[in-house]
Each structure stands twice: as C-alpha cells, then as structure tokens.
Amino acid sequence: MARPGALYPQVDPGAAGLMDRRVLRCAAHLPVARARALAAGAGAPALVVGPRSVVLPEDLDRAAGWGLDRLAVGHLAWDGLAVVGPSASEVAVRRLLLHGAPVVVVAQGLTVVGIIRAASAEWAQPGLSIAHRLEHSDGPAREASVWLLRHAGKVGEALGVAVWAVGGFVRDVLLERPALDLDLVVEGDGPAFARRLAEEIHGRTVVHGAFGTASVEGGVTAGGNPLPRIDVASARRERYRAPGALPSVAPAALGEDLARRDFSVNALAMALGPAVFGRLVDPLGAARDLDRRRLRVLHPLSFVEDPTRIFRAARYSARLALRLDAGTRRAMALALSAGVYPALSGQRLLAELELIVAEPGGWRALALLLEWGAFRLWDPGFRTSSRSMRRLTEVWRLCEWKGAPGILPPLIDAALVGLLLDQPPTVARRCVARLAITGARAERLLGAPALARRLARVLDASYRQASVVAHALRSAHPEALVAAWCAGGARARGRMRWFLTRGHAVRPLMTASDVIAAGVPRGPQVGRCLEALRDLRLDGRIKTLPQEQRVVERCRPDQKGGAT
C-alpha cells in the first residue's frame, strides 16, 4: 500500500519498452499485393523499406481497395521519420509524437528494431489554451464570433454534447489572421445541435443530411448585432470507395474527424465548453507545421484519395505562404501519375478553380498548379512550359488592371483562356469537356485562339482609324479579347488598353429620342445613325452637338446621301 508523502522511483520504460518489435523489412519495389500479404502473414504493424521509411498496413489496405495492387510499395512509405535509439526516454518519444509524428522509428545503429505509433498509446495532450488570442483581438467581427462560440459551447453543454471550433478558424487564430470560416464539430447529432443553436440566436438553419452537416445564418447577439454564418458538422470518419469519389461517412470521435482532414494545418480544434473554452486540440502537429510554414498531408495516399486537395494545397500555399514538405510533394507526384480518376466529377474540378480565382492570391495559386503539373488532372496531355507561365502572367495583369467592367469575361473564364491558349486544340477540347463545360461557353473558350489571331492582326496594323479598332473590339466576345491580349504585340495591347479605358465609353451627345425627334423614322435606321455618330466622334471628325445634328439631318429619308 502506498504511504502518503512517500517518494517512489519513477519507472521510464524508454523507447525499448514502448516499441512494437514485429517490424518486417521488404524491398521498396515490391508490389502492394505481395507486401500486404507479407505484412498480414507476419502480423507486422509496419513494413520497413528504408532506414527512416515505413509502410503502414492501413495504407496497404487502402491501396488494395482501390485496385492499386501493382503499385510499388515504396510509393506508400512514410519517409523522413524521427529515429531514436532503444534507450531514448519516454519523454523524448512523447515529444515527437505530440509534434505530429505518426510513427517513431527505433533503430540500433542502421538496423530498425521497432516502431512506436501515435495511435498505439493514449498520449495526454497538453492543456494549452488559445482563449486569450480570441478575447484580446480587435474588431466587431471577431467580437461577434467569440460571442457566438461561447454561446455554442453553452448550447452544447445543455444538450450534453461536446462542441469544438475546427479547421481554418483555429488555424487563423494561431496565425493571428482574420478568420474566413467558422466551422463547428459536434460529437453527436450536428443538425440537431444546429437547430437548437439557431433557435437561441434567432437564426435560420439549412440541413444537409447526407453528410450530417448544417448551416446557421442570420443570427444576432443578445444586443442585436449580426452574427456570421456558422457551419456545423457531426464528427465523422470518411471512407473513399474509389480514388476521387465522394466519401461515405459514419459517426466518429473528434480524433478520427481531425485525422480525416486534408492537411495537418486544418486538423485543429478548440474546445467550446464553458469549463474548457479555448483549449487547443492538436494531435497531428499543426502548430509546429505553422511555425515552420509547412503544408503537410496526413498520409501518403491523401491526394490519390481526393485529387482536389492538390488545388486546395495551391490555395493554402498562396494564401498562407506555406511550403509543401517532401512527403507531400511525393504524395502529389504519386497522385498525378496514378490515372485519370473517373469518379472525380468535372463540376468538382471546376468548383476548385472558382475558389482559387476568387482569392486575392489566386493567380499565384494557379502558377503553383502549373509548376506542379497539376492540370494533368484535366487531361494527361496537358503540358506546362515557360510560355504557359508567361501567358498566365499576361492574363493576370489584364484582369488586375482596372479597365472597363463587364467587357472582360468572369475571372474563371479569363484564367481558363490563359491556361488553355497554348495547348494543342485536341488537349484543350478534352480539358473543357473534363470540366463539364458545354454549350456556348465551351465554344467561346475553344474558339478564342483562332478569333484572337485574326483580331490581333487587325490591332497590330500600322494604321487603323479609332472607329475601326473600336468596332473590331466591340464585335469580339470577351474570351477572344483575353486571348488577343496574349497573342497581340505592343501596338495591339496599347489599342486594347485605350478601348478598355476610354474607347468603349464614347457615345454620341444625341440620344435615340433626339434622333427620332430630328426626323429619322423609328427602326434600324436610328441605330445606324447613332453608330455613325459614335464612329465620327471616335475618329475626331465631330465634337459638338450642332455637328451631330447636321449629320442626323443627312440621315433623314427626305435627304439624299448619308452620314460621312
């Protein structure tokens, strides 16, 4: 029996006492099917394919389930893992695991003698709180968010469920950035919690039953101040039946919910319960990755599982100035070489592009995607060159330059023109079809290069009246204007700049009513008369209202001749 106040020696099992010795060595080129059979036969928790590289059974199972039996097992390896000796202390091992290491390798010299997995032990998370970062932040928007989060914690306590703020909101608090999203996770019935929260804050609820999610918007604080929209989800695990497919979901604990996410920097949670408000939950080392400005996927098959994560990687890299770590780059290379992903819809690919161009750093994200070769997801024949980068930069400068609104196409279509302009026509056609773009929009995107070449020749000519330039640009569709900007020379761009800033706005002083009152009959002749006035003004041949009136007199039916 222990005596009160007595001192007892603390036993440190060390790495040797914590490790699992049933590791199995295999060659990195071994096919997944063979490696999986070996691991199952030996009951091994990992296959060792290098001094600091192991393959985990769940990754073998995942690859086999997707028909990747012939893939070399080395592609699934966790590389660059932390290595300790058998005599390393439990504290040293604990520190590595709490910093997000999925596996710690125990080696005797160059020989791996065991592994320690984060999932094999219940490591107590430190009770770090970030509440002070919320309470001391400035601005009414953050104050409303804090009020809402505290109220959500109280609602969860009343319902007997734990509630956390998760993902980007927590990440942005750590980075001391304005939070763009407010997402909550409930260990329980998320939609039921959302409905109760909406009642409390006088908001509206929209429920998405398939994924156990809901949105609450339109709420107000006790003082009547508007609250931001909040998205609520039930904590869940996900299973992908095929690479690129939408996942099937099932209820799970918070730890599994965080482990299913795309990147470590989004696998964060903050407790909202009144007694623990602000406590940080960081089981995968997100805070350490943020300190190192590192973007890291959570397993080697992450991009194969959901290739749209490649586009999100570019978004986060551009927005947060994060760099892909070596393991993430290998995972991306694997996904881009794995196939065409028939289960991945074109609508999802297009939606990711729309999210990218909507961000301030969207063009930088597109440049990263070009650099990574990510557009092979649209078509394996997509090729990136230095010219592709220049085209993208040219389109970005055109869209960033504040010209005439409504003349250029939406940002996403301008980006598509820049990305597809130098691709072979067959590749461009397959890319547009892969993105599920059809009809007139597809025709404009695919026809832009040919129209742009003709337009550029008109604009690059040594002498052109302003009215001729304006007519050529007015008659071209917006996508062709973007392509012409890329295809034309300095003279063509100068003329386009003139048109977008001034030329498009030139109008006659007389209106259609004035022209009719001057004796021109209603109908097409009124339009032709106004066009003639506009062209004369563009060319500097008339400048005053009396001059316009004299031109209109010659347009009347009782006058011979016409406007000159």
Asked if residues 77 and 29 have their Cβ atoms less than 8 Å apart, the reply is: no
Tens digit of each residue's pLDDT (9 = 90 or more) over 27-39? 999 999 999 999 9
Q: Based on the fold, state whether residues 526 and 393 are members of the same structural domain.
A: no
- What pLDDT, on a 0 to 100 scale, did the predictor assign at position 208? 83
Shared domain for 467 and 546, answered yes or no, is no
> Which among 502, 520, 503, 499 is positioned nearest to 511, based on CA atoms?
520
CATH of the domain at 34: 3.10.580.10
Tell me the three state secondary structure of residue 390: helix
The answer to whether residue 152 sits within a structural domain is yes
Q: Minimal CA–CA distance to 78: which of 112, 122, 121?
A: 112
pLDDT reported for residue 109: 86
Sorting pLDDT into bands at 50, 70 and 90, what band is 14? Answer: confident
Q: Is residue 320 part of a domain?
A: no
What's the pLDDT at 399?
Answer: 85
- CA atoms within 13 Å, Cβ hemisphere of 320: 29
Confidence of residue 563 (pLDDT cuts 50, 70, 90): very low
Out of 73, 93, 120, pick the residue that ends a domain: 120
User: In which residue are the tokens 């060792």 written?
Assistant: 48
Are 181 and 265 part of one and the same domain? yes
What is the bridge-based pairing of β-strands 230-234 and 183-186? parallel
**What residues does 54 pair with on adjacent strands?**
48, 78
Instruction: Give the span between the Cα atoms of 414 and 18, in whole angstroms.
Output: 57
| pTM for the structure as a whole | 0.90
Most confident of 9-23, 91-105, 344-358, 513-527: 344-358
Q: Give the separation between CA 66 and CA 240, rounded to whole angstroms.
A: 9
Q: Does 226 reside within a domain?
A: yes
Average pLDDT on 530-536 reads: 94
Question: Would residue 354 count as lying in a domain?
Answer: no
**Residue 175 one-letter amino acid:** L
* Strand 230-234 versus strand 213-217 pairing type: antiparallel
Furthest C-alpha separation in the chain: 122
Over residues 435-465, the pLDDT tens digits come to 999 999 999 999 999 999 999 988 988 888 9
**Is residue 367 in a domain?**
no
Residues 217 and 104 in one domain: no
pLDDT of res. 400: 79
Q: How sure is the predictor about 98, in pLDDT bands with cuts at 50, 70 and 90? A: confident
CATH code at position 256:
3.30.460.10
* SS3 (DSSP) at 164: strand
User: Which domain, by its residues, includes 520?
Assistant: 512-555
Same domain? 116 vs 157: no
Q: Which residues of 273-312 are buried (b: 16+ CB within 10 A; e: fewer)?
A: beebbbbbbbbbbbbbbbeeebbbbbbbbbbbbbbbbbbb
Same domain for 245 and 146, yes or no, is: yes
Pair of tokens at residue 561: 């001749």
| 304 occurs within a structural domain | no
pLDDT attached to residue 123: 47
Q: Give yes or no: residues 218 and 73 share one domain.
A: no
pLDDT of residue 143: 82
Among candidate residues 243, 267, 292, the one where a domain is terminated: 292
How high does pLDDT run on average in the chain?
A: 89
Do residues 474 and 535 both lie within one domain? no
Let me know if residue 546 belongs to a domain: yes
Is the model's pLDDT at 9 over the cut of 60?
no
Percent of the chain with pLDDT over 90: 68
Query: Does residue 120 surpass a pLDDT of 60?
Result: no
Q: Which of 120, 150, 179 is the last residue of a domain?
A: 120
Q: Give how far Cα 142 sits from Cα of 72, 145, 148, 171, 343, Å.
A: 49, 5, 10, 14, 40
Cα 223 to Cα 41: distance, rounded to the nearest angstrom:
65
Provide φ and ψ at 71, rounded to 5°: -65, 140
Residue 482 above 70 pLDDT?
A: yes
Residue 472 shares a structural domain with residue 522: no
Give yes or no: residues 149 and 242 share one domain: yes
Does the residue 188 lie in any domain? yes
User: Tokens 């942005």, residue?
Assistant: 172
Query: What residues contact residue 112 under an 8 Å CB cut-off, 6+ apart?
Result: 23, 25, 48, 51, 54, 105, 106
Q: How is residue 240 written in tokens?
A: 């992908």
Q: Are residues 139 and 283 in the same domain?
A: yes
Residues 286 and 393 in one domain: no
- Number of structural domains found in the chain: 4
Per-residue pLDDT at 12 exceeds 80: no
